[in-house]
Amino acid sequence: KWKTELKEIETVRELYDTIDVEELAKFSDFPLSKRTQDGLRGAGYAIPTDIQRAAIPLALRGRDVLGAAKTGSGKTLAFLVPVLELLWAERWSPDDGVGALIVSPTRELAYQTFEVLRRVGVKHDLSAGLVIGGKSLQSEQEAIERTNIVVCTPGRLLQHMDETVNFHCSSLKLLVLDEADRILDLGFQATVNAIVENLPAERQTLLFSATQTKSVRDLARLSLQDPEYVAVHQNS
Ligand code: ADP
Ligand code: MG
């Protein structure tokens, strides 16, 4: 079975370079793993939104992406699909530790993202965990070591980086900063800077925001490398 999957990874990856965005009417038109296609279908997602259509192909090709689109435009799947596909294509397993970090401004938003990840990622053999406080630090510490996709709030993540002995992000592949404008509004700029300093320089970073402010651009300058800018405007 794993031979079939290796073949599938090869086939899907070869398609990344020739994606024609004009032809992406449905999620089934995207070069995605069967696991993700099944997850999307099972969760009821058939037609991508504009930000998803624009950002996913760039992220699949390994580019850093700065995505701006208003609230409700579907930014969550614009980064969750690339997260799942990257770790799938890398054949990531629970033993490989943290491969992707998704930083959200609040517990509620982290929880919502985690729930979408659980549904869309249900067919993958990846572990996902919420690191948002509210539980004891110790219970999070025990789980975090074997978590592949960490969905977190900035303060709690930095606390683990400082205090959890076996937690390290040295093999991290992908950082997502979601709702970056709200992260900054809530005063987490220094916390996020400290988090980014703890991460490998060679990684992919996706930053999404409802608004493009100067502070979002400053954060992007610090955390992204040669990003593709994707902005989706009104009525989309
Ligand atoms: P944003 O982060 O941009 O505010 P969300 O990712 O939270 O937006 O999505 C907003 C709503 O749209 C959610 O209820 C989500 O389930 C729904 N949604 C997102 N993408 C799609 C899609 N491709 N098809 C149908 N509904 C979608
Ligand atoms: Mg959102």
- Domain of residue 189, CATH code: 3.40.50.300
Identify the pLDDT of residue 107: 97
Identify the pLDDT of residue 135: 81
What ipTM was estimated for this complex?
Answer: 0.99
* First-to-final CA distance of the chain: 41
Closest listed ligand to the CA of 116: 1
Could you tell me the distance, in angstroms and rounded to a whole number, from the CA of residue 6 to the centre of ligand 2?
33
Identify the pLDDT of residue 172: 97
Task: Characterize the bridge pairing of strands 174-177 and 204-209.
Answer: parallel
Closest listed ligand to the CA of 56: 1
Residue with tokens 């996902």: 128
Does the global pTM surpass 0.95? yes
Identify the pLDDT of residue 236: 41
Q: Where are the alpha helices (DSSP H) in the chain?
A: 2-16, 34-42, 50-60, 75-89, 107-120, 137-144, 154-163, 180-185, 189-197, 214-223
Could you tell me the distance, in angstroms and rounded to a whole number, from the CA of residue 76 to the centre of ligand 1?
7
Identify the pLDDT of residue 234: 59
Q: Round to whole Å and give the CA distance between 4 and 11.
A: 11
How many domains does the chain fold into? 1
Domain encompassing residue 121: 2-232
3-state helix, strand, coil in the chain (%, to 5): 50, 15, 35
Could you tell me the distance, in angstroms and rounded to a whole number, from the CA of residue 224 to the centre of ligand 2?
19
Which residue is closest in CA terms to ligand 1's atom 23? 48
Number of Cβ atoms within 10 Å of the Cβ of 162: 10
Phi, psi (deg, nearest 5) at residue 94: -50, -35
Which residue is closest in CA terms to ligand 1's atom 19? 74
Asked if residues 70 and 235 have their Cβ atoms less than 8 Å apart, the reply is no
Asked if residues 188 and 154 have their Cβ atoms less than 8 Å apart, the reply is yes
Atom of ligand 1 at shortest range from CA of 73? 3
236 residues of the chain, pLDDT tens digit each: 678 999 999 999 999 999 999 999 999 999 999 999 999 999 999 999 999 999 999 999 999 999 999 999 999 999 999 999 999 999 999 889 999 999 999 999 999 999 999 999 999 999 999 999 888 889 899 888 889 999 999 999 999 999 998 888 999 999 999 999 999 999 999 999 999 999 999 999 999 999 999 999 999 999 999 999 999 975 54
